[in-house]
Amino acid sequence: MLRDGKIDRVELVACIATLLASWIFLPLISFFVRESYSAAWMGVLIGSLVVWPLTLLFMNLVRRFPGKGLVEVTLELAGPFFGRLMVLVFAFIFLDQAASSGRVFTEGIASVIMPRTPLSVHLAVFAAAGALAAYAGIEPIGRLSWLLFPFFLISLAILLVFNFNHIVSGSLFPLFGYGLKGIATSSVEMAGRFVAILALPILYPLLRKQATAMKDGFLGLIMSVIVGVLVTVEFVMVFPPGEAQRRLFPLFELALLVQLGTFFTHIEVVFVFFWFFASAIQLSWGLYIANYCFCRAFDLPGFRPVVPIMVVLFYALAFLPGNVIEAITLRVKTLLPFSFGFMAFALVLLWALYPFRRPKPAVESGVIRK
């Protein structure tokens, strides 16, 4: 399946956009508001865009190794030991992002929609969806991403439009919030979340049309940035910054306010229904990419036997630590900056090693093969 699966352009766009936009299920906005007050959206914008130049450099490196992706390039440049170690960190980043999204999303469901169902059951349902998709392979995930992506966007658009009447326009001021330091902190944390764009160089060998990979990746990134900034702006405008800091589940909070006339006053379930798909897709990609990295690192012939192991790891990671606030704090304050830092470190290291270990033209019997 690893050898045969390919994803199309639109599927890649949906993949990147879903992976990068899924942070809106997390209470990151609340954290950003605490750090930069009314300028939370700036942190989102800067943090999400700052990863793009790094991605370009990664892609530039990967393209110098025909037929290979970031995982293979890392193994080739950093050697079998350090290379595998780095690839495992890549896998961990994707797995942890899936786990944190899954944990917070299911916490939201448990607190807003189905409070009597244990969190472990919600998370098990979630894990089952992701596991099946990861087991099915990259093509089904890609196609389903593309199929469900419009519903995700439409549900968000409706959410934003139907909250216009709650907007307090002055909430965006002062423009720079608590100041540049807060914005910079938020940006680094946001950039840590956008490290998921590494999916582009990792999945590069599996793209059906590699020539347009950069264009498609950028489109996915821009879509996710627009989604992130709009949600943040609206959240801050609907719940003024002082109040927004205390709201743990921004999207759910916004959904609770949506009314369709006086007849339908609680339609948050409908939104959650669609977000479930987006979140499950994000989990599927996370599991698949983690699987891919692991199997490539150890040169395993098939990825399916590893899927259950990854699902168990996902399940365990999602419950670390036990308290949701601590879990999110750990990720925002530690793992996200670490992810971004590691991305930068990996980039520097790989480019530093490149002059010494660059691929040489294959020579066979004195004839250079093209």
Partner 1 sequence: MGPFKGLTRLPRRLRDLVRKENQHPQGFSLGNRPAPPSGPKPAERRGGGSEEPHFFDADAKVDRAVSRKLEENQRLLKDIFRMPENTDVLIRPVHIAALNRQAFLLYIDGMTKRETIDLDILQPLMFLSETAAGHGKAPVLDVIQKGLVPNEKVVCQDQMAKVLLEVLDGNTALFVDGEAKALTIETKGFEHRFVEKPETEVTIRGARDAFTETIRVNTALVRRRLKTPNLMVEGMRIGRVSGTQIAILYLDGLANPRLVAEVKRRLETLDVAVIHGSGDIEEYIEDAPFGIIPQTLATERPDRVAAFLAEGHVGIIVDDSPTALVVPITFSAFIHSPEDYSIRWPFGSFLRILRFLALFATLLLPATYIALANYHQEMIPTALALSIAASREKVPFPVPVEVVIMEVSFELIREAGTRIPTVIGPTIGIVGALILGQAAVQANIVSPILVIVVAITALSSSAIPNPNAGLSLRLLRFGAIGLASVLGFIGLGLGLFFLGIHLVSLQSFGVPFMSPIAPFRPPSRDVLLRGPLWSMRWRPKFVQPLDSRRAAKYVRAWARPSAGAATDQDEPS
Instruction: Enumerate binding residues for partner 1 (CB under 8 A).
Output: 8, 10-11, 109, 113-114, 117, 121-122, 125, 128-129, 132-133, 136-137, 139-140, 143-144, 146-148, 263-267, 269-270, 272-273, 276-277, 280
What is the amino acid identity at position 329? T
Q: Identify any residues that bridge with 9 across adjacent strands, giving them in sequence order.
A: none
* Tokens of residue 245, six digits: 């800091």
Q: Which is nearer to partner 1, 236 or 281 (CB)?
A: 281
Q: Check if the beta carbon of residue 62 is closer than 8 Å to that of residue 73.
A: yes
**Cβ closer to partner 1: 263 or 356?**
263
Nearest approach, Cβ of 242 to partner 1 (angstroms)? 28
In the complex, the smallest distance separating the C-beta of residue 271 from partner 1, rounded to whole angstroms, is: 10
Indicate the residue type of 15.
C
**50 versus 113: smaller Cβ distance to partner 1:** 113
Q: In the complex with partner 1, which residue's Cβ is closer, 140 or 341?
A: 140
Supply the minimum distance, in Å, between the C-beta of residue 143 and partner 1. 4
Shorter beta-carbon distance to partner 1: residue 76 or 107: 107
**Cα 63 to Cα 272: distance, rounded to the nearest angstrom:** 40
Q: Least Å distance between CB 269 and partner 1? A: 5
- Output 267 or 344, the one with its CB closest to partner 1: 267
Nearer to partner 1, 223 or 343 (CB): 223
Cβ of residue 179: shortest distance to partner 1, in angstroms? 42
The CA distance from 221 to 54, in Å, is 13
CA gap 335, 346 in Å, rounded: 16
Choose between 134 and 227: whose C-beta lies nearer to partner 1: 134
Place of tokens 């609680």: 266
E strand intervals along the chain:
363-364, 367-368
Measured between its terminal Cα atoms, the distance across the chain in Å is 28
Token reading at 18: 């879903």
The minimum distance between CB 153 and partner 1, in angstroms, equals 15
Which residue number, 60 or 117, has a Cβ lying nearer to partner 1? 117
CB of residue 209 to partner 1, shortest distance in Å: 12
For 361, list phi and psi in degrees, rounded to 5: -60, 135
Q: Determine the distance from the C-alpha atom of residue 321 to the mean position of all C-alpha atoms in its chain, rounded to a whole number.
A: 20
Place of tokens 């821009």: 222
With b meaning 16 or more CB within 10 Å and e meaning fewer, what string describes 333-360? eebbebbbebbeebbeebeebbeeeeee
39 in Cβ contact with 175 (< 8 Å): yes
Q: How far is the CB of 307 from partner 1 (least distance, A)?
A: 13
Report the run of H or E that residue 300 belongs to, with start and end. none
Distance, CA of 310 to CA of 127 (rounded, Å): 10
Smallest separation (angstroms) from partner 1 to the CB of 272: 7
Minimum Å gap between C-beta 210 and partner 1 is: 17
What value, to the nearest 5°, has the Cα angle with vertex 147 and ends 271 and 136? 110
Q: How far is CA 18 from CA 43, 66, 199, in A?
A: 19, 27, 11
Q: Identify which of residues 264 and 298 has a Cβ nearer to partner 1 in the complex.
A: 264
Contact 195, 339 (CB under 8 A): yes
